[in-house]
Structure 1
């Protein structure tokens, strides 16, 4: 453990230049006293490290010194694909490995490339979450990932919403994990067919001793692309007809999302004398569509189906009673 920390300290100084004891302690998750001892150990081992006093002082390596001790562990190498996503890496229990792998990659790069890498990191950041959303609670994510890595069968108690809401028990062979808009999905085989499960909906999980051979022809990225396409096309099977003001038409992309708005805008009818235009929009279900349309306020009127009109009428009348004139 200490050897790994000494190497991390050395690579931090090599990659970033002068750093104070407090900065090093924060990066390594130790106390400043531990940093002092580690610096002494490195100096005793012949590493040309020295300290400068003063407000802007700190530890740094002698100019021109570079270590070649950059060999990665297997865990660090496996975590490389998550280097741009610290939160997902932490959720998978790989935060420390990602940080160590990044340090070693930076140390191995020639100086011009290392400087370019730092410039990119300072200027670009990937945030996979949606606005106003907390990440799903995924207490069983680590267990799912372990079973996935070991090709191990699991038994899960799963909270589903369709076709009938309730909890069900399933025996699954994990095939992959996907992070989509801040939500983790498990792709797992059940009865020989790959299916999709939201990890946050797993209520309980039990690993089973049975291991299963992973299908050689299964392509996770291709399966997911096909699944997303089927899901989004399925949403258009049910539609609603609405009237929109010019402001309502303009607001459609923000309210429906870009893809659904494109479908709706293709169906726009010519404007009537008051400027209203009819459109057909994808409808996931009555409650969801009603909540979406309410965001448009007086700039939309639902015309069909009857269930949607009734739902909106009841909701608006209830709201009106809360705000009497």
Structure 2
């Protein structure tokens, strides 16, 4: 729609200062000729927009000119206020700033769009962590966020899962990620991923670092998650599943995709497992609804656990 495109041109020039017709056309996915016509329309409407010729030329707005946020659609206004998550913002020390920013945006909205924004706040509440997950204690999160923002090195005492558990690490924090209610810092050299709640001590440094050119935090996290899932299920188990038993996760996906139904109605299927320890706990949770056939070590371990339970409850 032309009116929406004209507002987009104004907002682009406000945020980027100067843009050529070709750059505007690329952002808006229209032809350069369409940009020329839109610029003429803005001129006719009295917008102080002018263009410079030459290699360093382009369109720009008169210094100090700003447009109000009247170009937002109802859906855009709703999405804007849905994206404001107060919990994580407060953890980062930005709770009051977020509230102030939302207040200013709300005041700039027309009455109808203000109604849509208020309706979102009244009817949707985002709570990312799972039901059974205790809140992580992250006392150093604001300090990590400050180092991310200002490009400063951190010296931390970090607790990892293998020996030695407590190690000193020098971090060049590139960015923070909130995943399922848990904060992670992506840091160089590497980069590598660290849980913020496992930082036992943090010592800020005067040393600064330069974030690698072209580093894309979202792209890194997508690759990291894929690598994590690829490493997660490296083993296999052959099991028999009773009728009506429902598996979840990777095992549930495999069971839903097939298996061999046996004469007694049970289904024999080979499923991926993360480890013997994890599979032991997950399969036992289904009681007599699952029989493990292979590997022998997993079957023997479950048998020992069941024997001990029978002895305990005899």
Same fold (TM over 0.5): yes
Instruction: Report matched runs for 1:198-237 at 5 Å.
Output: 198-237=195-234
Partner of 2:110: 110
Deviation, 1:110, is: 0.5
Deviation at 1:206, TM superposition (A): 1.1
Report SS of the residue matched to 1:247. coil
- Maintained 8 Å contact 2:260/2:269: no
What is the Cα deviation at residue 223 of structure 1? 0.3
Hey, what's the Cα distance between the residues in 2 that align with 1:81 and 1:226? Answer: 29
Change (3 A) 1:155 1:120: same
Asked if 1:197 corresponds to 2:187, the answer is no
Cα distance in structure 2, aligned partners of 1:216 and 1:261: 42
Q: C-alpha separation between the residues in 2 aligned to 1:177 and 1:318? A: 45
Deviation at 1:113, TM superposition (A): 0.4
Return the TM-score normalized by structure 1: 0.68
* Alpha carbons 1:151, 1:213 under 8 Å: kept: yes
Q: CA deviation at 1:321?
A: 2.4
Structure 1 residue 289 corresponds to structure 2 residue 279: yes
Other-structure match for 2:7: none
Change (3 A) 1:115 1:99: same
**Structure 2: tracts of 5 or more residues without a match:** 1-67, 69-79
- 1:227-256 residue CA offsets vs partner (Å, 9 max, x unmatched): 0011111123222221101222xx213xxx
- Among 247, 253, 264, the residue aligned to 1:252: 247
Structure 1 residues 1-325: aligned runs within 5 Å = 84-162=84-162, 164=163, 166-190=165-189, 193-248=190-245, 251-253=246-248, 257=249, 259-266=250-257, 268-324=258-314
| Uncovered stretches (5+) of structure 1, i.e. residues with no partner | 1-67, 69-79
TM-aligned CA deviation for residue 165 of structure 1 = 5.5
- Per-residue deviation at 1:283? 1.6
Q: Is the 8 A contact 2:233 2:275 kept in 1?
A: no
C-alpha distance in structure 2 between counterparts of 1:252 and 1:222, whole Å: 31
CA offset at residue 323 of structure 1?
1.3
On the 8 A contact 1:242/1:303 being kept in 2, the answer is yes
Does the CA contact (< 8 Å) of 1:287 and 1:311 recur in 2? no
1:197 to partner: Cα distance = 0.7
Corresponding residue SS for 1:206: strand
Q: Are the aligned partners of 1:264 and 1:282 in contact in 2 as well (CA < 8 Å)?
A: no
Q: Does the 8 A contact of 2:144 with 2:173 survive in 1?
A: yes
1:94: Cα distance to partner?
A: 1.1
CA contact (8 A) 2:84 2:98 kept: no
Deviations 1:4-59 (A, max 9, x none): xxxxxxxxxxxxxxxxxxxxxxxxxxxxxxxxxxxxxxxxxxxxxxxxxxxxxxxx
Q: CA deviation at 1:82?
A: 9.3
| Worse-superposed segment, 180-189 or 230-239 | 230-239
CA distance in 2, matches of 1:186, 1:226: 15
Give the RMSD, CA atoms, in angstroms. 2.0
Contact 2:82 2:121 in 1 (8 A): no
* CA shift digits 1:138-181 (9 cap, x unpaired): 1111111111111111111111114x451111111001111111
User: With structure 2 as the length reference, what TM-score do the two structures score?
Assistant: 0.70
Cα distance, 1:188–1:124 mapped onto 2, change above 3 Å: same
Aligned length: 236
